[in-house]
Amino acid sequence: FSERTLEGRVGATRRIQENITNVEKHFGDMCQLFAAYVRKTARLRDKADLLVREIGMYADTETPNLKRGMKQYADHLAKIQDYRQAEVERLEAKVIEPLKSYGAVVKRKREDLKATQSARDREAKQMAQLERTRQRNPSDRQIIAESELQRATMDATRTTKQLEETIDEFEKQKIQDIKKVFSEFATVEMSFHAKALEVYTLAYQSIQSVDEEADLEVFRSSLHPPDYHSRLDIVRANSKTSLDRTGSFLSTSGTLQVRRYRQV
């Protein structure tokens, strides 16, 4: 009976150990990948900040309507990066930190498992000692060995039960934490994308509202500054005066020629 009981406890302990190892591996991997995701998001925020600055610098060189539209567009893009910064901070607090904390949790469970294994080893040792004593057949030693085995078995049973209780609580907490962490991730991402969608809509509207014709007029005017038009008007006026004088001269010359002809 004791051997079957011991085998049962060994099997349970092995399954608990596999469970702890599995959690340690996959929680560690998920933590690293979520952290990499957040770092990528932070780098995207930094690149977008550079883009906002470049758009603003270029806008300062453009025509009034396009400048205003680009400035508004850059302001909206900058606001989205504020939302992205909040996204990064919330993911670090609500996803990465809880996953990181499982390192300490797993360490405590391994210590509990180690204590149980030590108790089980003592029980196995006492069982082997009892078997050797039975073979030698001295009754006093057998009684002592049976007593030691009983104490070792009770200790192993107690620690195994404690381990099963604590690992049961660990399993329950693990499921709850996975649900919470994954839900937090989805909530943070939904919140960011919902707000970003609103501001991207405003950015789209701001750049689409640029008055192209008005800016084209400004551009065309810049090719022919005011003093150019003044000079052009003077040239045109002088040309008209010259033409008028030439016409008057021709008219006068023609009259004189007619008179001379008639006198002849």
Instruction: Encode pLDDT of 222-231 as tens digits.
Output: 887 665 555 5
pLDDT at 259 over 50: no
123/18: higher pLDDT = 18
Supply the pLDDT for residue 168.
82
**φ and ψ at 60, to 5 degrees?**
-60, -20
- Region 228-243 average pLDDT: 58
Is residue 123 within 8 A of residue 152, CB to CB? The reply is yes
Alpha helices by DSSP H, listed for the chain, are: 2-59, 64-91, 97-100, 102-136, 139-208, 212-223, 226-263
| Banded model confidence at residue 137, pLDDT cuts 50, 70, 90 | low
Q: What pLDDT digit, counting tens, does each position of 148-168 carry?
A: 556 656 666 666 666 677 778
Tell me the whole-structure pTM to 2 decimals. 0.69
Mean of all residue pLDDT scores within the chain: 79
Angle formed at CA 172 by CA 103 and CA 31, multiple of 5 degrees: 30
Nearest residue to 199 via CA among 38, 19, 116, 78? 78
| Banded model confidence at residue 139, pLDDT cuts 50, 70, 90 | low
| Banded model confidence at residue 262, pLDDT cuts 50, 70, 90 | very low
- Region 212-239 average pLDDT: 73
Domain boundaries, the chain: 3-110+174-223
- The percentage of residues in the chain with a pLDDT greater than 90, rounded to a whole number, is 45
Is residue 30 within 8 A of residue 102, CB to CB? The reply is no
Q: What's the topology of domain 3-110+174-223? A: Substrate Binding Domain Of Dnak; Chain:A; Domain 2 (1.20.1270)
Supply the pLDDT for residue 134.
55
- Region 33-61 average pLDDT: 97
Using alpha carbons only, how large is the chain's radius of gyration in Å?
A: 46
Q: What pLDDT digit, counting tens, does each position of 83-131 carry?
A: 999 999 999 999 999 999 988 888 887 787 776 666 566 655 655 555 5
- Region 41-66 average pLDDT: 97
pLDDT at 33 over 70: yes
250/187: higher pLDDT = 187
